[in-house]
Amino acid sequence: MSEVTLNGAGVSGAEATSRAGVLRRLRTTDIVFHGLTRGAAIVVLLLLSGVIISLIHGSIPALGAFGLGFLVTEVWNPVTEQFGALAPIYGTLVTSFIAMAIALPVGIMVAFFLTELCPQVLRRPIGIAIELLAGIPSIIYGIWGLFVFAPFLQRYVQPALIDTFADVPVLNALFAGPPYGIGMLTAGLILAIMVLPFITSISRDVFDAVPPVLKEAAYGVGCTTWEVFGSVILPFTRVGVIGGFMLALGRALGETMAVTFVIGNAHKVSSSIFAPGTTISASIANEFTEAVGELYTSSLVALGLILFVITFIVLAIARYMLLRLEQRVG
């Protein structure tokens, strides 16, 4: 393009036509490219609204039959066709909460260690190991959780926790019941391992982006490593860290196979995190293939709609928090 304009001075008629032709071609390319990108963006919107419409359409029979009570009913009885989403919603939120409560601090600490404190030799191996963790298919986590991790929890961790907290109020209800090995805690722990790489790798990238001059200045005026981490790096990178947290939470809320293997799949709301429970995606994966009858299938679709809404709310809260933070800073 630049060539065409540079050679523009004092040209003959033939050259002028060829130049106009080139320009026209370039313009067409741009228009086509513009159209293509816009088309791609519109396709995304169409797909999303298609998904929403079909979810709503599919869940109308169930929501019509049970109304808003669907959200707060614990019963899930395919025989009498009584369905309620309370147990799966509860299980989804509890397992995701356990996962994030563990993965967020650990992930940020790993990222900080990797960017600031780790000897150069170890940096690459640890970084690669964490990225590999993200590459393991979720079914592998499920099988490993069922065959290795759950028996380990059942034999060593759960009995110890039950004994330790037997006399402490509240906590004894939280850690109660027979140690099955599988249950909501196990699912939460597996999820924590699965989402750790998301938090770590994003945090590491944003920590790396902190201008060295800020850190050096902080160390220069006598800050400890802890103070640099808490007062310089975290405030500077919080938008990125929250972004990683949300990505991880999105994965935890929707994770299916690994959870199905280790959560125990009982449509019950239990106070104990050792008790079997279920999540929205696990219920759908378990029951959709053999669900016969309109109300049953429709209830499962309605579960999908609820998961969609939960994810949407989480994203909306994240956006809102980011906005608030930016306003306060700016």
Partner 1 sequence: MNLAKIGLAAAALAFSSLAAHAADISGAGATFPYPVYAKWADAYKKETGIGLNYQSIGSGGGIKQIKAKTVTFGASDAPLPGKELDESGLAQFPMVMGGIVPVVNIDGVKPGDLVLDGPTLAKIFLGDIKSWDDPAIAKLNPNVKLPKQAIAIVHRSDGSGTTYNFTYYLAEASPDWKTKVGTNTAVQWPAGIGAKGNEGVANNVAQTKGSIGYVEYAYAKQNKLTYTNMVNKAGKTVSPTMDAFQAAAASADWKSQPGYGVILANQPGDKSWPMTAATWILLYKKPTDPAATAEALKFFAWSYAKGGKMAEELDYVPMPSNVVMDIEKMWSSDIKDASGKPLYSMK
Three-class DSSP category at 72: helix
> Which residue number, 109 or 285, has a Cβ lying nearer to partner 1?
285
> Which residue number, 127 or 179, has a Cβ lying nearer to partner 1?
179
Segment near partner 1 (CB under 8 A), from 96-104, 111-119, 193-201, 281-289? 281-289
> Which residue number, 102 or 266, has a Cβ lying nearer to partner 1?
266
**Which residues are bridge partners to 76 per DSSP?**
83
CA distance 190 to 185: 9
Helix (H) or strand (E) holding 83: strand 82-83
Is 146 among the residues that bind partner 1 (CB under 8 A)?
yes
Segment near partner 1 (CB under 8 A), from 118-126, 185-193, 274-282, 306-314? 274-282
Contacts 24+ apart (CB under 8 A), 1-10: 1/26
Q: What angle do CA 61, 62, 64 make, to 5 degrees?
A: 65
CA distance 183 to 138: 17
**Neighbour-count burial for 105-142, b at 16+ CB within 10 Å, e otherwise:** eebbebbbebbeebeeeeeeeebeebeebeeeebeebb
Rule CB under 8 A: choose which of 28, 29, 49, 77 binds partner 1: 77
> Which residue number, 15 or 163, has a Cβ lying nearer to partner 1?
163
Site track 167-196 with partner 1 (rule: CB under 8 A), x = hit: -----------x-xxxx-------------
Rule CB under 8 A: choose which of 267, 279, 301, 305 binds partner 1: 267
* Least distance to partner 1, CB of residue 146, Å: 6
* Least distance to partner 1, CB of residue 211, Å: 45
Q: Tell me, rounded to whole angstroms, the distance of Cα 191 from its chain centroid.
A: 10
Site residues for partner 1 per CB under 8 A: 75-80, 146-147, 150-151, 154, 178, 180-183, 260-261, 264-267, 276, 278, 282, 285-292, 297
